[in-house]
Amino acid sequence: MVRISREEVPYMRPAVFVDRDGVLNEDTAYASDPKVAKLLPGVAPAIKRLNEAGMIVIVVSNQSGIARGFHTESDTRAFNAELDAQLRAEGARVDGWYYCPHLPEGKVPEYAMECECRKPKPGMLLQAAREHDIDIASSFIVGDKESDIAAGAAAGAQTILVGAGTSISDPQPPPTHLTADLPEAVELILARAVV
């Protein structure tokens, strides 16, 4: 595990790591077509509130459809670019888009591997922390799957399980908080965050 000390980076800010499908946008199976990219209700204003509060917003998403051969990395980047455009149109900003294209049992050889970036491992969060001077200990991850919570816990962030994910029985590790959706999670974060 990579540890970042305040001596290495004089000023580190908290971040909110957000899973993509099911938290940021509608979860359609292996979403890759920008034409079907659609933000969930209230997401853009919620992210704008985080921006205004001085928090870094990072999207971290497993995209095993790439390893499965369902779509390409270019498709994933185009989908993310469409979501980014929708957010910007409402005055909201994501500071970094990270995705893991790997899956050990994938059909595309170059992506069929065990990696450190696929949630529940914390690789994407740790990479973003290095690249954006993030203080993970004062950060949050918002996700709808047990793997999101496990990745956040492994990195040392507070964890928020949202939406359908709140019906997971006995998630391990247990999330720090439960909320209905990203806007409700943002309310909770802003009440507890020190920026």
For residue 70, CA distances in Å to 20, 73, 80, 101 come to 18, 10, 16, 11
- Which residues are catalytically annotated? 19, 21
- Measured between alpha carbons, how far is 4 from 1 in angstroms, rounded to an integer? 10
Domains of the chain from N-terminus onward: 19-41+52-192 (3.40.50.1000)
Say what the pLDDT of residue 5 is: 42
Q: In the chain, where do the E strands start and end?
A: 15-18, 56-62, 96-100, 140-143, 158-162, 177-179
What pLDDT, on a 0 to 100 scale, did the predictor assign at position 9? 45
Closest CA to 22 of 184, 182, 187: 182
- pLDDT by residue, tens only, the chain of 195 residues: 344 444 444 468 999 999 999 999 998 888 889 999 999 999 999 999 999 999 999 999 999 999 999 999 999 999 999 999 999 999 999 999 999 999 999 999 999 999 999 999 999 999 999 999 999 999 999 999 999 999 999 999 999 999 866 667 777 889 999 999 999 999 999 998 655
Position 164 scores a pLDDT of 65
CA–CA distances in Å: residue 74 to residues 22, 33, 88, 109, 128: 21, 11, 21, 17, 20
- The answer to whether the CB of 65 falls within 8 A of the CB of 71 is yes
Distance CA 82, CA 85 (A): 5
Rg of the chain over Cα atoms, rounded to whole angstroms, equals: 16
CA distance 62 to 103: 9
